[in-house]
Amino acid sequence: MAGPATETIAPFDQAPPPHTPAVEPHLLTEAAPPPHAGPRRDFLKMTLAATSVVGLCMAIWPFLDTMDPSHIVVTSTDVTVNLGGIPAGSGVTVVWKGQPILIRHRTPAEITREQNTNILQLRDPATDGSRVKTGHADWVVLFGTGPDGCVVVGNSPSDPRGHYGGWVSPCDGSQYDTVGRIRSGPAKTNLGVPPYDFSSATTITIG
C-alpha cells in the first residue's frame, strides 16, 4: 500500500539582500571643506593693531603737538629748557621722566586775574604765588597729566582753554586756570608742579 503523497519544497540558494533605499545622485557629492580661516584671522589682527596705534597717537597728540625740540636739552635725569622765543600767551611741552611737562608764558592780564582769585572759592585752594617761582610769575611749569590720567590741552593758543584760559581735559572735561588750579569739572585736585629751578632769566632746569 502506497504511503501518503509528500510535497518537496526546494530550499532557496540564499536569502535576498536587504532593501537599500535609493540615494539621489546630487547627495553623493563630497561636501567642500570649510574655507581656510587664516587670511581672515590675519586681517583682524592687522585691523586691531592699526586701531591700537591710532588710539595711542590720539592719546599723546595733545602734548606732542606743542613740543619744540629747539628749546630742549636733555641729560640723564634733568631737562633744561630755553624759554627765549616763547611768546606771552603761548607755551611748549617737554617730556621729563616719561611725563609731559607744560610750560606756559603768561600775559600780565592772566597773572593779575589769578592773583585776584579768592582761594576760598577754589576746590583745591592754592595761591597763585605758591605755584610759580618768586620773580617769575609769568612762567608756569606743570605736569601735563590730570587726575583722570588724561593729558590736558591748552598749551597752544589754538587749543580749547575753557572758561578760565588755562587747560582742559579732553577726557572728563575738567577745566584749569592759567596756574593749573582746578576750576570746574569732576577733577578734585590741581595739576601738579614738578621740581624745577631757573638757572638764568630765560632758562629752567626740570628735575
pLDDT at residue 60, rounded to an integer: 44
Q: In what order do the strands lie in the sheet with 203-206?
A: 72-74, 79-82, 203-206, 196-200
- On average, the pLDDT of the chain sits at 78
Burial of 58 (0-12, 13-18, 19+ CB in 10 A): exposed
The Cβ-side half-sphere exposure at 106, using a 13 Å CA radius, reads 25
pLDDT at residue 173, rounded to an integer: 96
The CATH architecture annotation of domain 46-206 reads 3-layer Sandwich (2.102)
pLDDT tens sequence across 102-118: 999 999 999 999 999 99
Judge whether residue 153 has pLDDT over 90.
yes
Which carries the bigger pLDDT value, residue 179 or residue 6?
A: 179
